[in-house]
Amino acid sequence: MAISPLDYRYVTEMNSIFDEENKLSKWLLAEAALAKAHASLGDIPKKCAKEIGKKANTKSVKLHRVKEIESEIHHDLMAMVEALTEVCTKECGGYVHLGATSYDIEDTALSLILRDAIGLIEEKLKKLRQVLVVLASENKNTVCIGRTHGQHAVPTTYGMKFALYAKEINRHEERMKEAKKRMLVGKMTGAVGTMATFGDKAFKIQDLVMEELGLTPAGVTNQVIQRDRLAEVLFIMALVASTLEKIAKEIRSLQRSEIMEIAEPFGKKQVGSSTMPHKRNPHRSERICSLARVVRADLQIALENISLEHERDLTNSANERIIIPEIFILNDYMLKEMTEILTGLEFFYENIERNLEASKGNIMAEKLMILLTQKGMSRQDAHELLREASLKAAKQKIHLKEALEENKGITKYLSKKELEDAFDVHKYIGKAVEIVENAIKELK
């Protein structure tokens, strides 16, 4: 019976990368590569390397058998070694795991798993970026109110919002590409990293194993590959989760009843509340915000794992079995959710226009201040004039233009037509369209 929601609620194709069967498979790949390296250097018979390589798979080495052995010896990696040994011929079984310590296999195999996991995340990041680019392009001229401190500021565009997110996702792609250089490494360095068990051929053995597996040798290690490498990748995953939360929070805010400019897609039979039939809740965005907190909390554990004692202790082992798959599965799920949300995002253009006009012209105070300065009024005087007029308009619930028409200080600088034109909110978006177009060109 499933206990963790990762097994039944937040399931994606990422789950299969971190399941026990695949983990065992990657351990066996590392063992086969080690045997092949030994054979190529004359350390073991070539026929035994072939025998080990032939049996080093989950068809020959059954997960249930590994678990049976582990229940007796209480060591999961050694249980795999014994299970592989017993399916090989007696002559060749004795060469399994020759010279290696557990984490030569485990950490090297972890890099193989992470290579696949990172690849899947990169695919999802690319797809999300492409969806955001389309939305930016389609909405580069969709003028909306910008908000700072939760208050109406000045006009912006929805194209700007989506371009900003697309560029941020692209930065995560670049970060992951860089981090792979440091994460996708393996080791064959023995109990404390000195390679003592591999003798004079140690460097060659390690090079051959890593070449076979498509990894880079880690260089200096102790018993484990250092956890700053893993923490870096998981930190990037936390950054991705935080960006997804940022987008989700914006959708949630803009879907508020009193704003309602955009909304998550809503199915024909979808239910918003068990008691309030009218509800249309942004539950998918809320779920993303919730799961992002888990990812960031897991990152703290990864950072603490960096400071293992001496040449290594075991305090990272148990928690990594939880935090690594959890972070990757949740990120994969959130990326999939966000891509689907944005693909079906609904726009309420009438509400966008309504909110642009909601301040009764006050959002154009900045433009008027700049215009008055260009006409010869000092910037500070113009600021004070507009500040007082805006407060008056808000208090009296009148349009800012009406308040200004009664102000002799402004009428001597601006004509009636100039004042009228200054309140065209659709023309006060600066270089927003060009900014979006430039971003789109860079991202394509």
Query: Considering 63, 98, 133, which residue would you say is the last residue of a domain?
Result: 98
Kindly report the CATH number assigned to the domain that includes residue 132.
Answer: 1.20.200.10
Instruction: Give the model's confidence band at 273: pLDDT under 50 very low, under 70 low, under 90 confident, else very high.
Output: low
Are 435 and 326 part of one and the same domain? yes
pLDDT score for 274: 67
What pLDDT sits at residue 270?
76
List 148's β-bridge partners, or say none: 151
CA dist 243 and 289 (Å) reads 10
> Which residues are part of the catalytic machinery?
149, 273
Asked which of 35, 68, 98 is the last residue of a domain, the reply is 98
Judge if 41 and 167 occupy the same domain: no
Instruction: Tell me how many domains the chain contains.
Output: 3
CA distance 361 to 1: 60
Q: Are both 346 and 244 inside the same structural domain?
A: yes
Model pLDDT for residues 159-181, shown as the tens digit of each residue: 999 999 999 999 999 999 999 99
User: Is 409 in the same domain as 431?
Assistant: no
Q: What is the CATH number of the domain that holds 375?
A: 1.10.40.30
Residue 328 lies in a domain: yes
Candidates 119, 157, 120, 166; CA nearest to 139 is: 157
Burial class (CB in 10 A: 0-12, 13-18, 19+), 8: exposed
Q: Report pLDDT for 408.
A: 78
pLDDT band at 426 (very low <50, low <70, confident <90, very high): very high
Last residue of a domain, one of 64, 98, 132: 98
Q: Give yes or no for residue 185 having a pLDDT over 80.
A: yes
Angle at 391 between CA 388 and CA 395, to 5 degrees: 140
pLDDT per residue over 303-348, tens digit each?
999 999 999 999 999 999 999 999 999 999 999 999 999 999 999 9
Q: Are residues 241 and 296 in the same domain?
A: yes
Question: For residues 255-269, b (16+ Cβ closer than 10 Å) or e, as one string?
Answer: beeebbbbbbeeeee
**3-class DSSP state of 123:** helix
Is the same domain home to 434 and 286? Answer: yes
Q: What is the pLDDT of residue 21?
A: 97
Residues 343 and 245 in one domain: yes
Mean pLDDT of 147-157: 97
38 in any annotated domain:
yes
What pLDDT, in 10s, does the model give residues 429-438? 999 999 999 9
The reply to whether 234 and 141 lie within a common domain is: yes
Q: With respect to residue 122, please indicate whether it lies within any of the assigned structural domains.
A: yes
Q: Which residues contact 372 (CB under 8 A, 6 or more apart)?
A: 382, 385, 386, 410, 413, 414
Say yes or no to pLDDT of 409 above 80: no
Paired tokens of 261:
């400019």
Model pTM above 0.85 = yes
d(CA 160, CA 145): 12
- Tokens 């102790």, located at residue: 222
State the SS3 of 319-331.
HHHHHHHHHHHHH
What pLDDT was estimated at residue 412? 83
- Select the more confidently predicted residue: 2 or 127: 127
Q: Are residues 159 and 291 in the same domain?
A: yes
Host domain of residue 49: 16-98
- CA–CA separation, 163 and 169 (whole Å): 10
Q: Are residues 61 and 121 in the same domain?
A: no
Both 288 and 342 in one domain: the answer is yes
Q: Are residues 176 and 315 in the same domain?
A: yes
Tokens of 187: 């080791």
Instruction: Choose among 222, 197, 265: nearest CA to 38.
Output: 197
